[in-house]
Chains A and B, each alone.
Chain A
Amino acid sequence: MAEKGKGGLESEFRRKLLMGMATIPALALMPKFAYGAGPATAEVNTTGLAVTDTEVTVGILHSVTGTMAISETGSVQAEKLAIEQINAAGGVLGRKIKFIQEDGASDWPTFAEKARKLLVNDKCASVMGCWTSASRKAVLPVFEQYNGMLYYPTFYEGLEESKNVIYTGQEATQQIIAGLDWVTKEKGAKTFYLLGSDYIWPRTSNKIARKHIENFMEGTSVVGEEYFPLGHTQFNSVINKIKLRKPDVIYAIIVGGSNVAFYKQLKAAGVDLSKQTLLTISVTEDEILGIGGENIAGAYACMKYFQSLDNPNNKEFVAAFKKMWGDNIVIGDVTQAAYLGPFLWKLAVEKAGSFDIDKIAAASPGIEFTGAPEGYVKVHENHHLWSKTRVGMARTDGQYDVIYETADLVEPNPFPEGYQ
């Protein structure tokens, strides 16, 4: 609530004068362009989104409190960096991006509520957000009902496609198949032991992995498959079982705090990851902070992005990220995918020449982004990204050495035939 003017020092004239004077130093900082030079608002916004002549509002919807804050913090940071960089380069259609951040608080109904607020009250032109599949499933009906556009950053189990979502992370087959092919070819792996936390993503992913191992590769088999409740902290029994079965590869999709317990106990039990091949799709540089590099060194992770990727885009990205958020920060796969969201939206808006959701949705397929830290990416008809699959080996300092990448971009296939 604004305070009423009290006269004298706070008179309206004085305030206006001060406001006027305040812009003088700002003039010196004005970049070579000016916001508001784009096409007329009436043309580019026919559905009543929060677009003015000089500004466009987008939403950021992640958990900054609750259990998931640990994972989602990186995504928020990446999205803010991307928005800042886009603004510094002139904004979108001559308009500066303004963001409204809401907290999903690790609670799925809250996510739906906040999504409704961002779309209905704030009329956000797009929303970057969600992390877990549960939160995405909770907001999806809202985005479809109010015709919003969500940029979703996390690698996930697939089996979904919506006009109102752009999936900037990998769906399951993009993360799994190339990794299994690599480990079979390079390490001569024949037997696999599948592990996972007990919820939809690890179960669906392991299902795809099992189908691939049993039906699509020669002479390979699964010798064990097991799930643990989320937050499970005791893995000694399963480690004994693994020692007994001696699989060539431990395929681990364990998430959250359980991860830390699993790798610490694996090391304590004398399983040497330089001799026992372990392939994971759930441990990024972010998770290693908690696990400790010395506990996981030697393990292989299958991702599309590693902080250590050696290309000019990534070097710039890592430097800018550290400049904005501090030197000690690490960047994981999902953080990079979150960074793509605002850029892909900007490209879609520019291609469509409009902020209208329907036009963006139609314009998105085929969009190419050459500035991505992971390298060139392209949006598929199914609103997922074409991207490379990479395998990294964990180092003791918590980073990965990239040791393999697919020659071509891998096509996203959220409804893989033969894998259901």
Chain B
Amino acid sequence: MFSDYSMAELGSIFLMQGFAGLILFSVFLLMALGLAIIFGQMGVINMAHGEFMILGAYVTYFTSQFFLNHLPDLFGIYFFIAMVLAFLASGALGLLVEWGMIRYLYKRPLDTLLATWGLSLILQQLYRSFFGAREVGVELPQWMMGSIPVTDMVEVQINGLFVMGLTLAITIAVALLMYRSKWGKQVRAVVQNRTMAGAVGINTDKIDRYTFALGCGIAGVAGSAFTMIGSTGPTAGQLYIVDTFLVVVFGGAGSLLGTIASAFTISQAQSTMEFFLSGSMAKVLTLLTVVGILMLRPQGLFTLKVRH
């Protein structure tokens, strides 16, 4: 298929393809970070993860509308404020959900699956009733659109760079929080042995609540960022949920490093195969590969040794 093209063309296409793979990697990682905390650390199968993301997307939409109508001069920076608001909104909803539902289900993981799936349907219908069934278009400030031309063929997408930067920042923040802070130590202690953690004086209920809220908040930020590349509608969250679980499960629940490695593997596999095959086939092959590896390594790529 490449015989018709010059070396220069091929070189630049592969460069751009590599960049496309990196963008996909960032997107997958950003999607999965929140769930890596909720599912990975807490063991809660949160089927409503996508809906928490979409709440972030809607918050971004309303923030953009507010800035357009009331503060047009500051429109260029609204996105940063929107991300903070998205974090707060999704986090607050997470607190509420944990308090009202999840905390009764910690010992019944399969029930959380059903309950959170029900929650996702409820949230979808609420979005539809309040925000309308139609998709909304989030307007971006001019500087975030388009691309930087490097050569004639090679162009670097600005929103891709933005997502990559954001993912890097959030990943570092989460890593520091989980592995370098006192709070993170408590979270990990609760994960490893809830009873003992309680016995040494950790308030496990509070840890649970804030861990869940943190995961949801990060989902909100991800949703906010994805308004740049995807759709914002009541059911758009469903588009992300499969890939998100795929990344977390494949990486090995409970391991941040595993999530990163898995997002990298899946995104590179998919983006390379998409280039050589058609989109649907690439997806099928990616899924087959993941299934194959999980058959050999059911615990995922990386796992913590946890005493139960």
Contacts and interface: CB of A to CB of B under 8 A. Distances in A.
Interface of A: 64-67, 69-70, 73, 198, 225-229, 231-234, 236-241, 243-244, 256-261, 264-265, 267-270, 286-295
Contact of B147 (A229, A233, A268): A268
Given A70-B234, A238-B274, A290-B232, A65 B125 contact: yes
Contact of B230 (A244, A264, A267, A270): A264
Given A237-B271, A244-B13, A261 B231 contact: yes
Interface residues of B, number: 50
A238 B16 CA distance: 11
Interface stretch (B104-112, B132-140, B174-182, B214-222): B132-140
B271 A73 contact: no
Given A70-B234, A268-B147, A233 B229 contact: yes
A65 B271 contact: no
A69 B280 contact: no
A2 B283 CA distance: 57
Contacts of B275: 237, 240-241
Q: Which 9 A-B residue pairings sit nearest by Cβ, starting from the closest? A: A290-B135, A260-B231, A236-B20, A292-B137, A228-B279, A237-B274, A257-B231, A270-B147, A69-B133
15 contacts: A64-B133, A227-B280, A228-B283, A234-B24, A234-B271, A236-B23, A237-B17, A240-B16, A257-B233, A261-B231, A267-B145, A268-B229, A270-B147, A287-B135, A290-B137
B299 to A, nearest CB: 28
Contacts of A290: 134-137, 231-233
A243 B234 CA distance: 33
Interface of B: 5, 9, 13, 16-17, 20, 23-24, 27, 125, 128, 133-139, 145-147, 149, 153, 155, 157-160, 226, 228-236, 238-240, 270-271, 274-275, 278-280, 282-283
The DSSP consensus for interface residues of chain A is: helix
A268 B271 contact: no
B155 A269 contact: yes
Contacts of B153: 243
A159 B163 CA distance: 44
Given A237-B20, A270-B146, 17 more contacts: A73-B133, A231-B238, A232-B283, A233-B226, A236-B157, A237-B274, A237-B279, A257-B233, A260-B137, A261-B231, A264-B228, A265-B157, A265-B229, A268-B145, A269-B155, A286-B134, A291-B137
A70 B135 contact: yes
Contacts of A198: 279-280
A312 to B, nearest CB: 28
Contacts of B13: 240, 243-244
A10 B270 CA distance: 71
A288 B139 CA distance: 12
Nearest to A296: B137
A260 B138 CA distance: 11
From A256, A268, A294, residue with most partner B Cβ within 10 Å: A268
Nearest to A65: B125
From A241, A269, A291, residue with most partner B Cβ within 10 Å: A269
A65 B157 contact: no
A321 B231 CA distance: 26
A291 to B, nearest CB: 6
B79 to A, nearest CB: 14
B279 A260 contact: no
A265 B295 CA distance: 35
A232 B271 contact: no
Nearest to A74: B134
A198 B279 CA distance: 9
Nearest to A290: B135
From B136, B155, B278, residue with most partner A Cβ within 10 Å: B278
A294 B234 contact: no
A233 B225 CA distance: 13
From A64, A228, A236, A243, residue with most partner B Cβ within 10 Å: A236
A240 to B, nearest CB: 5
A294 to B, nearest CB: 7
A288 B17 CA distance: 28
A291 B158 CA distance: 18
B290 to A, nearest CB: 15
B145 A257 contact: no
A382 to B, nearest CB: 32
Contacts of A259: 231
Contacts of B233: 70, 257, 290
Contacts of A295: 137
Contacts of B17: 237, 240
A68 B145 CA distance: 29
A231 B16 CA distance: 24
A233 to B, nearest CB: 5
Given A244-B5, A289-B137, A290-B135, A229 B279 contact: yes
A240 B231 CA distance: 21
A105 to B, nearest CB: 10
B128 A65 contact: yes
Contacts of B27: 234
Contacts of A267: 145-146
A268 B146 contact: yes
A229 B240 CA distance: 13
A67 to B, nearest CB: 5
Contacts of A244: 5, 9, 13
Contacts of A294: 139, 145
A268 B163 CA distance: 12
Nearest to B13: A244
Contacts of B239: 231-233, 257
B157 A69 contact: no
A70 B274 CA distance: 29
A307 to B, nearest CB: 15
Contacts of A226: 278-279
Contacts of A287: 135
Contacts of A258: 231
A233 B135 contact: no
A190 to B, nearest CB: 15
A389 to B, nearest CB: 26
Contacts of B226: 233
Contacts of B125: 65
A243 B16 contact: yes
A198 B277 CA distance: 14
Nearest to B133: A69
B243 to A, nearest CB: 9
A233 B16 CA distance: 18
